[in-house]
Amino acid sequence: MKYATIPVFAVAILLAACTSNKDMYLIDATDAVAKQRVAARSVEVKEVILPAYAAASEIAYQTETGALKTAKGALWAEEPRAAVTRIIAQRLDTGTTASVAPEPWPLLDGPDSTVTVRVDRMVARADGQFELSGQFAVSFSTGGRDRLRRFTILQPLAGQSPGAISAATGAALAELAADIAKSL
């Protein structure tokens, strides 16, 4: 019985040796701006829908041939869907007069509005621009007028490094949150 634990321990050491250290990057959340007065009192941000390449833990960028590649030795530090949802909710919460939280709604009383975001493209393009495009919907449960809007946001990239992609992603999400706030 004593020898049965040796192979398990050896396998654990072998697996640890096979994994490589990768740098992990947070999506750069830019500073909030002054609070904007909005009609909504409370807003729930539904989990953002991302294309598969943007939802992956690897940081993707587009080459000049149009192919998507992943940055070697670099990963997102947080699951991208959760990070993007959290950042949009945080920006709306700090940048508007509404109380905002990502789903699931944490309070007993439900929110009076919800935001749903579907991203079509979220990529560092080969032309030096970061593109964030898709559609968002704002729905009101208390009689407000529902809205559905398309968006295309381009942010300049300061290179193709994971840090530059992180900074451009954060800036694009801040701009998207500002656009959503105008619909609240």
2 CB-contact burial (10 Å; exposed 0-12 / middle 13-18 / buried 19+): exposed
CA distance 113 to 183: 11
Domain count, the chain: 1
What's the pLDDT score for residue 34?
78
The C-alpha R_g of the chain, in whole angstroms, comes to: 20
In a domain, 143, yes or no: yes
In a domain, 134, yes or no: yes
Provide the 3-class DSSP secondary structure of residue 177.
Answer: helix
| CATH assignment of the domain containing 177 | 3.40.50.10610
Answer for the pair 151, 176: CB distance below 8 angstroms, yes or no: yes
What's the pLDDT score for residue 142?
78
In a domain, 119, yes or no: yes
Answer for the pair 100, 43: CB distance below 8 angstroms, yes or no: yes
- Domain housing 73: 23-183
What's the pLDDT score for residue 143?
75
Q: Taking 70 as the threshold, does the pLDDT of residue 165 lie above it?
A: yes
CA within 13 Å, CB half, 101: 11
pLDDT confidence bin for 126, thresholds 50/70/90 = very high
Span of 18-22, 29-33, 146-150, 154-158 with lowest mean pLDDT: 18-22
Q: What is the pTM of this model?
A: 0.84
CA 161 to chain CA centroid, Å, is: 18
In a domain, 16, yes or no: no
Q: Which helix (H) or strand (E) holds 24?
A: strand 23-25
**105-116 tens-digit pLDDT:** 999 999 999 999
Tell me what the mean pLDDT of segment 97-107 comes to: 94
In a domain, 17, yes or no: no
Span of 31-40, 71-80, 110-119 with lowest mean pLDDT: 31-40
In a domain, 11, yes or no: no
Mean pLDDT of the chain: 88
